Structure 1
Amino acid sequence: MLALIAGQGALPRAVADACPERPLICALEPHMPEGLAVDRSFRIETLGSFLHWLRKRGVTRICMVGRVARPEIRLTQLDWRTVLMLPAFRRALKRGDDGALRIVIGLLEGAGFEVVGAHEAAPDLLPPSGVLTQVQPGAADIGAARLGDQVSREQGARDFGQACVIRDGAVLAREDEAGTDAMIDSLEAAAGGVLYKAEKPGQDHRADLPVVGPRTAEGAVRAGLSGIVLSAGGVMTVDRPAMIEALDAAGLFLWVRERDA
């Protein structure tokens, strides 16, 4: 049986809807998913007891999906099962996002669960490679994509965001903890710019795989961008038909490509 530990955003519902059988929906308080009834919520201080409850329910696989801010741990409220995890918690608090996620995955695996990525639970959310819109990228867009590969490696090494906007060989904006859509919304007119988004190099695909959707496409249109570049196999799309329709109507491209080595 599969359990989703669902965070915020539209992705948890998209994954749940795409599963052949309804998963158990769980949420780390206070991050509740949109449009999904939660079977059980839990606090980080009760993680050990929560995992024990999952095992008793017959859960064997866990998928972490959706946005979750790094929680504050109140040591005085740890239950006894979670106290045993305290050394791992302390290591996680000292790491960047990727390192912390790897520790959390190790805790779940150590408790006997198989951790699967959202793209494994719902593989249709990964778009096929190629240009998915009517408009094709031009020479300047191809150059922007190659620069995006370099920027992605740099941002990944510094544990920064997974997206940027590039125009005329320069980086106009970089994603921070506010997310891709907020980055786009903060732009002034960026005619001809390209939104580039990819997973961090070396990232564990079982957690925090990036995602875009119709809101991202609408933001790109408002910002006057020429198109969107996604890494093949590394970025999921929510409501892809609506996203493509919005881009086609505005004359933007959506290009899913393999990153340069």
Structure 2
Amino acid sequence: MGRRLGIIAGSGKFPFYFLQEAQNLGYSCVVAGIKGEAENDLENKADVFEWIDIDGIFKLITFFKNQGVNEAVFAGKVDHRKIYKEGKIGKALLGLLAKAKDRSPTAIIEAAIGFLYKQGIEIIEPTKFITSAFCDEGILTRKKPSREENEDISFGWDIARKIADLDIGQTVVVKDKAVVAVEGMEGTDETIKRGGLIAGEGAVVIKVSRTLQDPRIDLPVVGLNTVESLVEAKAGALCFEAQYVPFFQREKAVSLADANRISIVAKKVNKKGSRLNI
């Protein structure tokens, strides 16, 4: 049995990718799957698995301590909208919300990280486990962005960075040098689809990280699901931040983009003071 690592798993394919990479490095992975978020098949791939409710932080702590876990990562998405849904908030989550400076995802997770640390469980950065998922700068698809798409990328890039630094969202949809949609609580995929409904065919999607991104709290990602949303929205291009936004299921995603004449571009930006090291 290798060194034990806890994984707090939300939705999407990130938990699967992270789990496989950690196991390949010799870790024994103890996975807490968040009910209503994590996929069922994750249970079959983990070394040890337990389902927890979204506000089950005390059950999480007991589970990890019983399994000898003192380091863990967050992997996958949790629908932030649930904090406004009746019946989804128990006393434990209400306690965390009271400790948070506001109800933004960053503030809530920061409060959770602090509470877990006091209980002897340190949340660590996931980036060292997934270095192969980060891309260098360049065009990843056969189709290059058109002149108009490049102009929309240039127009939307700084806007996306400012929105991200304000902790609003990390995705914007642009068409004809106009912002069509900004990511909120609904997440990237729903933002892309909403942008497609408003703008119609040919919109550009931009995904970035924050200037001072703390990957323990939130690591922005793109992947096959992202491209599937681009196809549904009839988008023309995706531009994401090279070396800071991992690209999961890259081969399948690029193949799908090529089949639908969608450009995918990784754009590099130099950041001073960022926590993210890969």
Query: Normalising by structure 2, what TM-score?
Result: 0.79
Q: Which residue of 2 aligns with 1:221?
A: 231
Q: Which residue of 1 aligns with 2:274?
A: none
Structure 1: give runs of 5+ residues left out of the alignment. Answer: none
Q: Which residue of 1 aligns with 2:168?
A: 160
Instruction: Write the distance in 2 (CA, Å) between the matches of 1:251 and 1:201.
Output: 31
The yes-or-no answer on 1:249 pairing with 2:259 is: yes
Aligned match for 1:35, one of 41, 54, 65: 41
- For residues 225 and 32 of structure 1, do their structure 2 counterparts lie closer, same or farther at Cα, with a shift above 3 Å needed? closer
Aligned match for 2:10, one of 7, 10, 22: 7
Q: Deviations over 1:53-105 (max 9, x none)?
A: 42342213211111213555433xx5xxx9xx94x541227342212222222
Once the two structures are superposed, the pairs formed by residues 127-146 of structure 1 within 5 Å of their partners are 127-146=135-154
Instruction: Write the distance in 2 (CA, Å) between the matches of 1:45 and 1:244.
Output: 37
Instruction: Write the distance in 2 (CA, Å) between the matches of 1:42 and 1:253.
Output: 39
Instruction: Write the distance in 2 (CA, Å) between the matches of 1:50 and 1:230.
Output: 33
Once the two structures are superposed, the pairs formed by residues 202-221 of structure 1 within 5 Å of their partners are 202-221=212-231
Instruction: Write the distance in 2 (CA, Å) between the matches of 1:234 and 1:190.
Output: 29
- What residue identity is the alignment partner of 1:154? K
* Identity across matched positions, percent: 24
The yes-or-no answer on 1:200 pairing with 2:231 is: no
- What residue identity is the alignment partner of 1:74? G
Query: Normalising by structure 1, what TM-score?
Result: 0.83
Instruction: Write the distance in 2 (CA, Å) between the matches of 1:59 and 1:243.
Output: 34
- For residues 74 and 36 of structure 1, do their structure 2 counterparts lie closer, same or farther at Cα, with a shift above 3 Å needed? same
Let me know the Cα RMSD of the aligned residues. Answer: 2.7
Q: Which residue of 2 aligns with 1:63?
A: 73
Q: Which residue of 2 aligns with 1:238?
A: 248
- What residue identity is the alignment partner of 1:134? R
Instruction: Write the distance in 2 (CA, Å) between the matches of 1:258 and 1:214.
Output: 21
Q: Deviations over 1:125-176 (max 9, x none)?
A: 2233321112223443333223222222332244322111112211112222
Deviation of 1:204 after TM superposition, in Å, equals 1.3
Moved more, 151-160 or 56-65: 151-160
